[in-house]
Structure 1
Amino acid sequence: MTVLDVRALNRATLTRQYLLERSATSVPRAVAQLCGLQAQEPQEPFIGLWSRLTGFKPEQLDEALTERQVVRTHLMRRTVHLVTAADALAWRPRHDTMLRQRVLGTYRRELADVDPDELAAVGRAVMADQQPRTMSELVRALEDRWHGPPRRALGELLVAALIPMAQLPPRGLWQRKAGVRNLPLATWLGRDTDPEPTADNDPVGQQLVRRYLAAYGPAASADLRSWCGLAGLPAAIRAVREELVAFRDERGRELLDLPDAPRPHPDTPAPVRFLPAFDNAILGYHDRSRIIDDAHLGLSVAGHRAVLVDGRVAATWTVRNHQLRITPLRPLSTAEQEAVRAEAQDLTVFLNEDIEHVQLNTEN
């Protein structure tokens, strides 16, 4: 079985994530290819798309959101993701059990006496008037029935697990500060979510396997599970196994992939790229060694924005006091410093935040 080293896996990830070469595709198609963008920080997807798409303009994502081509919703790992409308409707039922389990696990004591099915039914009745509500407004409408549990626990169970919700614009629009207003996905997108899969028939699970590999492969089953948070995909992997090819990494793990997916030569040059907080190119794996050193794993989880140099996380960046500040995690060569500064200058133009100076800390 062919062994793929870390650099080969890195280049495969970069090309499928549009980080090896920017793509001219549309925003909805890019979001579909990426299997969504993590979006709990509303402005971060704009940075992620700028680093991936040729000539990306913020109004392109604004338009996709307001025209309901893409939607913000709780999905993979109980995290707010920006996904296409079609994927939200198809994938949400497959995530329902996981979402419910995670919220109930977090608030086990607070929700011990709450019947989730009853709560969901009453919540849907309240939302039947098709009026967007904040989580607090929705919980207040239920206080006569559930006045004991903390509002936060009830609200999260409702909007993150029991009722598939869309977070409506202006939340998530470019340089707009807006609270979360929720509306059921079916109301916002004009049709119900797809039927929930059965134990004997899981086409959505099989689609998730294929789509994940197209965006992140070659990858192990543990990587797939880490990305989506779903435990019940072994059967889906078995169902599509004959369609796939297998490799091993240097640690001996079996990696699966689509046979015709791009796997560039390991020596393919990789340009500098600035990533947003919580970018799935880093967080979309159980084993993240293909893109970030073990010593720096905590940076991505903590929400630090990262800079890729030669395809790997080599610095963090932030904007503060009209400066774009870059902090290397390893010594950068003169050529690397020049490439980082050049990409940073382009980023300052895109961000349009009155950034007056790029500060690259070269003391290491």
Structure 2
Amino acid sequence: MDISERSLVHARLAAQGLCGPPAPGPVQAVGRLLAVQAQDPRGMRLAVRARTRGLRAADVDAALTLDRSLLVTWLCRGTLHLVRTEDYWWLRELTAPRMAAQIRRRLAQEGVSPGDAQRGVALIETALAADGPLLRDELRRRVAAAGVPTAGQAMVYLLVVAATRGTIVRGPVVGTEQAYALVSDWLGPPPQAFDRDAALAELARRYLAGHGPADERDLARWAGLPLGDARRGLVAITAEVVTTPGGRQDLAGRSRHPGDQFPTRLLGAFDPILHGWAERSWIGADQRTITSNGIFRPTILVDGRAAGTWSMPGGRVELAPFADPPAWPAPVAAALADEADDVRRFLGVQPG
């Protein structure tokens, strides 16, 4: 890794909160990243663990359930994301219109007519108004009882429609799941009117804070928005941005020194470091990091690079390094053992 490449890797790891001082809590860790991909519940929580110290998964659950400072819903790229509650309002307004055509197409593929979709969303809203928060299977039973198709992925896409309309979010943790709640009940009214230009500027600013150095293509890909929107947001914050030697943009005033060491981390499935840019060769991630159906597997990070994957069968952390045998010095091996212990501590899992 040459100096310029090392500098880029270090800057992005620092922006992600994987280098430097840890975040003091889950809300700060998520806020730095703006949005954390959340279709894998354990991976979502492990993303917070890797950027904090001494917390437990229960601390993330408390933020979701007790103080309602975090929530999960469909946002960037039409995918579930964990965000701060205060960022939900403007992010949904920015990203929901882009998802509408895709959702209609998927509902049709699942055999749900436009009329059935309208009825299904109305039934979800009525059920949550009367008895919410409710788990997905509870909502499914009520919707199916009214004759609306729910088989396959139909129910999921009915929930996506309700979420993109700003009707529902995933709220409290109930057992191992998150229940759905009405936005009006769970969060109350929006704190302010939506300003699209201001939202695009905030998107660009916050994206660079957690992902810089990056460019407009990176931002557009990550947010799932047109390139023109990404460019518009970046232009709006021109006075706050500098251009790095590689031609990418970053927030002014951020330290871009490469540093002497990179962290050794066990990252969860779908960790933000693996899908925050248009390409990921800079982190050493290739097809070995991603399963054949596009699911990002839990990843071993060594010396600023993806060095393997890991799993946890029966509560035991098992490493699968890309190199066989792995060329890890003793300090790295010891750090990985410590990481494995911390993953189990964070999740409250004991080896079987």
Instruction: Please indicate, yes or no, whether the TM-score normalized by the shorter chain is above 0.5.
Output: yes
The CA distance in 1 between the partners of 2:221 and 2:42, in whole Å, is: 24
Gaps in structure 1 of 5+ consecutive residues: 357-364
Q: Which amino acid aligns with 2:338?
A: A
Displacement of 1:273 in angstroms is 0.8
Q: What amino acid sits opposite 1:245 in the alignment? A: V
**CA 1:120–1:206 in structure 2 vs 1: closer, same or farther (change >3 Å)?**
farther
Paired residues of 2:124 and 2:139 also in contact (CA < 8 A): no
Does structure 1 residue 285 correspond to structure 2 residue 277? Answer: yes
> Residue 52 of structure 2 aligns with which residue?
53
Q: Are the counterparts in 1 of residues 120 and 148 from structure 2 also a CA contact under 8 Å?
A: no
Mark the runs of 5 or more structure 2 residues left unpaired by the alignment.
none
**Whole-Å Cα distance in 1 between the matches of residues 278 and 264 of structure 2?**
24
The aligned residue for residue 161 of structure 1 is: 164
Q: Distance in 2 between matches of 1:238 and 1:115?
A: 42
What pairs up with 1:254-333 in 2 under 5 angstroms? 254-263=247-256, 265-299=257-291, 301-330=294-323, 331-333=326-328
Computed over aligned residues only, the root mean square deviation of the Cα atoms, in angstroms, reads: 3.1
Measure how far apart 1:147 and its partner are: 4.2
Question: C-alpha separation between the residues in 1 aligned to 2:274 and 2:206?
Answer: 17
Q: How does 1:63-78 map to 2 (within 5 A)?
A: 63-66=62-65, 67-78=67-78
Counterparts in 2 of 1:100 and 1:116: CA distance versus 1, 3 Å: farther
Matched residue pairs, number? 341
* Among candidates 206, 230, 233, match of residue 211 of structure 1: 206
SS at match of 1:354: coil
Query: Does residue 1:227 correspond to 2:222, yes or no?
Result: yes
Name the structure 2 match of 1:186.
Answer: 184
* Structure 1 stretch displaced more, 209-218 or 298-307: 298-307
Deviates more, 1:136-145 or 1:52-61: 136-145
Q: TM-score normalized by structure 2? A: 0.84
Alpha-carbon separation, structure 1, partners of 2:286 and 2:157: 37
Q: Which amino acid in 1 is paired with 2:267? A: L
More helix, by proportion: 2
Q: Is residue 305–residue 316 contact of structure 1 (8 Å, CA) maintained in 2? A: yes
- Contact persistence 1:107–1:153 (CA under 8 A): no
Report how far residue 297 of structure 1 moved. 4.9
TM-score normalised to the size of structure 1? 0.81
Q: For structure 1, which segment, 51-60 or 5-14, has the greater mean C-alpha deviation from structure 2 after superposition?
A: 51-60
2: distance between equivalents of 1:346 and 1:109?
A: 43
Residue 24 (structure 2) aligns with: 25
Q: What is the letter of the counterpart of residue 272 of structure 1?
A: T
Change in 2 beyond 3 A, CA 1:124/1:317: closer
The 5 A counterparts of 1:187-202 are 187-192=185-190, 194-197=192-195, 201-202=196-197
SS where residue 310 of structure 2 aligns? strand
Q: Percentage identity across aligned positions?
A: 27
* Separation (CA, whole Å) in 1 of partners of 2:205 and 2:161: 30
